[in-house]
Amino acid sequence: MPYRVRFVKPDEHYGRLKREIDDALFTCLSKGDLVNRRQLREFEEHLADFVGTRYAVGVNSGYHALAFSLLAAGVGPGHEVITVAHTFVATVSAIVHCGATPVLIDVRPDHNMDPELIEQAITPRTKAIIPVHLNGRICEMDRIQEIADKHKLLIIEDACQGLGAAFKGQGGGSFGLTGCFSFYPFKMLGCFGDGGAVTTDDPAIARAIVRMRYNGEDRDTGEYHYHGYTALLDNVQAAVLDVKLPHLRGWIEHRRQMARLYQDRLRSINEVGLPNFGGDDYYESFQNYVIRVPRRDELRVFLKDQGVETLVSWPKPMWHHLALRLGDYTLPETEALCREVLSLPLNSETTPEEVEIAADAVREFFGSPRYRPEEESVNVLSA
């Protein structure tokens, strides 16, 4: 059945930028600019400027951004890294693959790391903290930085869902030793395959990752400094990303507008917890619009029948995947989120009409009357 409201619209997204993207692809292909050429360097410069760091290094996935950041920072066997379980498994896999041990702590209701739980997880082996900026909302980075400074710990930001979001006016990916980004096709800034980047103010870290991504070789001198990896951001993908980057601020504002429409239409439903968390310190980009509801799986089936496409991320806690061998944890908020969260359609092409269709379907499921803004205004004034 074709969806009335699609979760993402890669075809429409391409159509809006077709001329710019086609021109960039033609330039790369006609000139043979395929590997480590001008377009990659220009995108790295523009991304660093956007995030607010001195350097950006393109790699081929968000996972490699995390793994290379840990390796370049000297994290390895015998070390522990504190992070959260309410994240994509790559965050934790990067820790495991560098030989360190992940230590998982719980999140707050806004889905982000609870800073008040960090210190009790610190041991003499703790080397770093990886806060994850989920769904386009930045973690409480001043408190996390305070704890890290007190205990002399590194911060590696998983900003794969935090590009363009800010905390106290500072952009995601600019707080820690590094910021790690993914350009998976369905991210807000996505390429046509896998892609990622590391941002940093540290020249030694940037240089190490530049070498690491290309088999350990310094491309200027031809000298190999260690056994590296094959994980360079393709030049053609960098060209596409550089076309899209100037549009990103506008896309974020569009998402914020659609998020406000969702809030207007859903806030009177008692059963629905909304992700419009607010707070003057936060500028949210709404990479995802994730509601929290009882009977989540029933609601998802109902929405599908109504032609509304949705997404459930991580329906069971990460440590319940026994093959990952993460041990046993009791993290109540993480466990509740796994049972209750549902991502509604929100992308750069989402229309107000589609928000209305999706919201009305949610209202119908919970037996709420259709949204009438004039009636809600009366109710608010009489409350």
Confidence of residue 53 (pLDDT cuts 50, 70, 90): very high
Residue 261 and residue 173: Cα distance in Å, rounded?
A: 28
Q: For residue 381, is pLDDT > 70?
A: no
pLDDT for 383 beyond 50: no
CB-based burial label for 263 (10 Å; 0-12, 13-18, 19+): middle
Mean pLDDT, residues 41-67 taken together: 98
In this prediction, residue 2 has a pLDDT band, given cuts at 50, 70 and 90, of confident
pLDDT digits over 36-45, tens only?
A: 999 999 999 9
- Percent of the chain whose pLDDT exceeds 90: 95
Q: Taking residues 278-291, what's their average pLDDT?
A: 97
The whole-angstrom separation of Cα 324 and Cα 140 is: 28
Residue 368's pLDDT is: 78
Give the Cβ contact number of residue 143 at 10 Å: 14
Q: What's the pLDDT tens digit per position in 292-349?
A: 999 999 999 999 999 999 999 999 999 999 999 999 999 999 999 999 999 999 999 9
- 130 φ/ψ angles, rounded to the nearest 5 degrees: -115, 95
Average pLDDT of the chain? 95
The per-residue pLDDT for range 100-155, each reduced to its tens digit, is 999 999 999 999 999 999 999 999 999 999 999 999 999 999 999 999 999 999 99
Q: What value, to the nearest 5°, has the Cα angle with vertex 36 and ends 35 and 40? A: 115
Identity (one letter) of the amino acid at 248? L
The domain locations on the chain are 10-105+113-245, 247-382
Nearest Cα residue to 182 out of 204, 154, 149, 157: 157
Q: State residue 382's pLDDT score.
A: 30
Model's pTM, two decimal places?
0.94
Rounded to an integer, the average pLDDT of 272-288 is 97
| pLDDT tens track for 83-106 | 999 999 999 999 999 999 999 999
Task: For the chain, give the percent of residues with pLDDT over 70.
Answer: 96
With beta carbons less than 8 A apart as the criterion, state whether 325 and 383 touch.
no
**Alpha-carbon separation of residue 199 from 87, 95, 210, 214, 344 (angstroms):** 20, 18, 11, 17, 30
**CA–CA separation, 266 and 365 (whole Å):** 12
Residue 373: is it exposed, middle or buried by C-beta count within 10 angstroms (0-12/13-18/19+)? exposed
Report the pLDDT averaged over residues 55-72.
98
Contact 193, 62 (CB under 8 A): no
Contact status, residue 83 vs residue 104, Cβ threshold 8 Å: yes
pLDDT by residue (tens digit) across 189-220?
999 999 999 999 999 999 999 999 999 999 88
C-beta separation of 50 from 248 below 8 A: yes
Task: Specify the pairing of strand 170-171 against strand 55-59.
Answer: unpaired
What is the CATH code for 10-105+113-245? 3.40.640.10
- The pLDDT score that the predictor gives to residue 373 is 65
Pairing of strands 196-200, 55-59: antiparallel
Q: Looking at domain 247-382, does it have CATH number 3.30.930.10? A: no
Q: What's the CA gap between 197 and 59, in Å, rounded? A: 5
